[in-house]
């Protein structure tokens, strides 16, 4: 089992969860000390549910294929603060540790939904 909602809906796999048209990514809850300890937030927009599901970033790490930088660039002047906003998917030009989270979020957003 991948995750169970409070409405008792069960998704057996991550693929089943991401392709569900009633599941929508709402953002990322940042953990600046360890970004992989953050959470992706999803809403289950089924009638009579509306639960927000919080899933560990670690469950989605394999969706990122690039380098994971060790340093944060949030203190430099060139930082636009993309990672400070829960659902900001704008590309960040800096070699920052936050880039992998944005990339995973974009992959999730573009994941094909079942019709």
Give me the percent of the chain exceeding a pLDDT of 90. Answer: 52
Which contacts qualify for 34-39: CB closer than 8 Å, 24 or more apart?
Answer: 35/97, 35/98, 35/100, 35/101, 36/61, 38/101
34-59 confidence digits (pLDDT tens): 777 889 999 999 999 999 999 999 99
115 vs 25 pLDDT, higher one: 25
62-87 confidence digits (pLDDT tens): 999 887 766 655 565 666 766 666 56
> From CA 100, how far away is CA 13, in angstroms rounded?
22
Read off the pTM.
0.82
């Amino acid at each position: 089992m991948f995750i169970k909602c409070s409405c008792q809906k069960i998704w057996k796999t991550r693929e089943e969860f991401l392709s569900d048209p009633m599941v929508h990514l709402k953002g990322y809850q940042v953990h600046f000390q360890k970004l992989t300890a953050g959470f992706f937030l999803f809403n289950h927009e089924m009638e009579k549910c509306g639960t927000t599901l919080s899933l560990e970033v670690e469950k989605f790490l394999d969706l990122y294929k690039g380098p994971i930088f060790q340093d944060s660039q949030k203190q430099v002047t060139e930082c636009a603060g993309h990672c400070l906003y829960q659902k900001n998917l704008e590309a960040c030009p800096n070699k920052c540790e936050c880039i992998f989270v944005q990339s995973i979020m974009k992959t999730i957003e573009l994941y094909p939904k079942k019709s």
